[in-house]
Amino acid sequence: MWAATARPRPESAPLRADESADVVIIGAGFTGLSTAHHLAARFPDRRIVVLEAGRIGNGASGRNGGMVLNWIHGAELSDPDRSRRIFGVTRAAIDDLEALVAAHPGRVRFRRDGCLEAVTDTRRAEEAHADAEKLASWGLPVTWLSGDALRQRLRSERVVGAVLDPTAGQMHGLDLLHLRYDLAAALGVTVYERTPVVAIREGKTIEVHTPGGVVRAAAMVLATNGYTPRLGYFRRGLFPLHSHVFATEPQSAETWARVGWSGAAGFSDDLDRIAYFSMTPDGRLLAGGGSNTSYGYRWNDATAWKGSAARGHEAVARTLHRYLPGAAELPVAQRWTGTLGITMSRTCTMGVRGAHRNVYFALGYSGHGVVLANLAGKVLADLYADHHEPWADLPFYQHRIGGIPGEPLRFVGYHAYTALTGRSPRKNHA
Ligand SMILES: Cc1cc2nc3c(=O)[nH]c(=O)nc-3n(C[C@H](O)[C@H](O)[C@H](O)COP(=O)(O)OP(=O)(O)OC[C@H]3O[C@@H](n4cnc5c(N)ncnc54)[C@H](O)[C@@H]3O)c2cc1C
């Protein structure tokens, strides 16, 4: 749907000869292109090259739910200063995105009228209500909605109450990537599309091998999120999980009113197999998640979805219709599947590694990457400048990820665990 509704852009040529660069970035999603853009703006004399296996936005950045969310997944929120700090970082990142969009009118479809976290059980509603009041008393702009205030935005028998974050929103990810590409290219960045990296040799000069040539660079950025284990990195830290999604055609305001949803860009639920629903700026309903079947794990970290995703899409539809029965009348226009990079703690990691401290990485956003993967560009540009201090206190900074067994235990364990418990494996179940 994002690809079908984005303004077409000509494809960049693949790499066809050897190259030298100061920085080679692998992957042209939010992480890769925001990093290219920030590095090029800060280091105009450096040669920056991006290698992308498919087209720009081939990964999760071109396939997501579009929800522009605050918070860092998995971070503890028991301390007022810590909570304000974490919320402040993501809110500033959303403000930056909004400013970027505003500076280039007509390029990126974006709405910022809030997202809801819907609570589906009375006991959890009491806890969520108390938590929202606590956060509000610490100065954070979240509000607990129930009764009429909730029904004005979401009329669903299943939803007992919801936390509204009015600073969240919804964005067309491919619009944003195409804008980032134009801005980075104008600063001298070269993006090679259809250029898969097949091997990496680390050293003071890193060699990155592709079918068309080798890029030799003083530094490398892994911007491959859920695909990273296939390059031999973070094999025990990152779990590529596939989420099946569909979207309708644009709907009129009357249809939305009949379906029972208005005035919030998205909502997700409080269940472990999280269900998420977005209202795009042009009025489409997008739905994903909600059950074991709506998420898939493929043997040995395979990221291409070769099997039929039909059962996954049917499961998503059943979940949507349980929340909003009126949505069953809306024909589905597009169905697709995207790859998430999940960590056991659900917290992402950003940092630098390698014997020569020249391998930069930002990944493992676990469904919260629209904001964080765009923030990653700013973080990695700072780390590249050896300026760690602005980020060193944040949960993602050099965060160690691990705890995922190798195959065959990974495949068997995941499917046995999810079938028996209905939950997704994780450390620190909240
Ligand atoms: C279905 C779905 C729904 C989501 N919904 C939301 C949401 O509503 N809100 C939210 O905040 N987050 C959401 N996310 C998460 C978010 O989209 C991701 O965290 C984010 O896009 C990650 O960006 P990235 O650039 O790090 O990775 P990606 O966008 O996955 O980019 C990685 C790129 O690397 C390329 N690549 C891989 N291997 C190679 C190689 N060997 N050589 C060259 N290139 C390679 C890929 O082709 C890809 O383009 C969702 C994700 C999915 C899948």
Closest-CA residue, ligand 1 atom 48, reads 59
Backbone angles phi, psi at 314, to 5 degrees: -65, -40
Q: Nearest C-alpha to atom 18 of ligand 1 is from which residue?
A: 369
Q: How many helices (H) and strands (E) does the chain have?
A: 10, 20
Regarding whether 374 and 291 lie in a shared domain, the answer is no
- CA-CA distance, 250 to 281, in Å (whole number)? 9
Atom of ligand 1 nearest to the CA of 244: 1
Tell the residue number behind the tokens 């909003």, with chain if given. Answer: 324
Q: Is 255 in the same domain as 316?
A: yes
Q: Are the C-beta atoms of 364 and 379 separated by less than 8 Å?
A: no
Q: Alpha-carbon distance 296 to 69, whole Å?
A: 23
Q: Which atom of ligand 1 is nearest to the CA of 197?
A: 42
| 332 & 260 share domain | yes
Report CA(371)–ligand 1 centroid distance (Å): 12
Whether 221 contacts 360, CB under 8 Å:
yes
Ligand 1 atom with least separation from CA of 339: 53
Closest approach atom of ligand 1 to CA 223: 26
At 77 the pLDDT is 83
In 3D, which of 421, 367, 377, 22 has the Cα closest to residue 223? 377
Longest CA span, the chain: 63
Tell whether 77 is covered by a domain. Answer: no
Average pLDDT of each block of 10 consecutive residues along the chain (430 residues)?
A: 96 98 98 98 98 98 98 89 97 98 98 97 96 97 97 97 98 98 98 98 98 98 97 96 97 96 95 96 96 92 80 97 97 96 96 98 96 98 98 97 94 93 76
Ligand 1 atom with the smallest distance to the CA of 268 is 8
208 and 336 inside one domain: no
Q: What does the pLDDT read at residue 45?
A: 98
Residue 255 is part of a domain; what is its CATH number? 3.30.9.10
Same domain, 249 and 290: yes
Range of the domain at 233: 2-62+174-238+345-413
Collapse the DSSP code of 175 into the 3-class scheme (helix H, G, I; strand E, B; otherwise coil) and give the result.
helix
Same domain, residue pair 246 and 325: yes
Q: What is the pLDDT of residue 428?
A: 61
Give the total number of structural domains in the chain: 2
Which of 61, 197, 215 should be mutated for ligand 1, with most atoms under 8 A from CB? 61
Question: From the alpha carbon of 370, which atom of ligand 1 is closest?
Answer: 11
Strand 143-145 and strand 169-171: the pairing is unpaired
pLDDT (0 to 100) of residue 119: 98
- Same domain membership, residue 381 and residue 286: no
pLDDT of residue 306: 67
CA of 365 to the centre of ligand 1 (A): 9
Q: Give the per-residue pLDDT at 430.
A: 39
| Environment class of 75 (CB within 10 Å of its CB; exposed 0-12, middle 13-18, buried 19+) | middle
Do residue 254 and residue 156 come from a single domain? yes
How many other CB atoms are there within 10 angstroms of residue 62's CB atom?
Answer: 23
What is the C-alpha separation between 371 and 19, in angstroms, rounded?
32
CA-CA distance, 123 to 146, in Å (whole number)? 14
d(CA 324, CA 262): 12
| Strand-strand pairing, 143-145 and 199-201 | unpaired
Q: Mutate which of 51, 227, 268 to test ligand 1's pocket (most atoms within 8 Å of Cβ)?
A: 227
* Same domain membership, residue 152 and residue 21: no
Based on the domain organization, do 252 and 309 belong to the same domain?
yes
- Give Cβ neighbours of residue 368 (< 8 Å, ≥ 6 apart): 69, 71, 72, 73, 348
Q: What is the spatial distance between Cα 342 and Cα 35, in angstroms, rounded to a whole number?
A: 21
Q: Which residues contact 65 (CB under 8 A, 6 or more apart)?
A: 245, 266, 276, 277, 278, 286, 288
**Span from the CA of 204 to the centroid of ligand 1 (angstroms):** 28
Neighbouring-strand partners of residue 427: none
CATH of the domain at 204: 3.50.50.60
Ligand 1 binding site (Cβ under 6 Å of any ligand atom) = 26-32, 51-54, 58-61, 63-67, 69, 196-197, 223-227, 231, 243, 245, 276, 288, 338-340, 363, 365, 367-371, 373
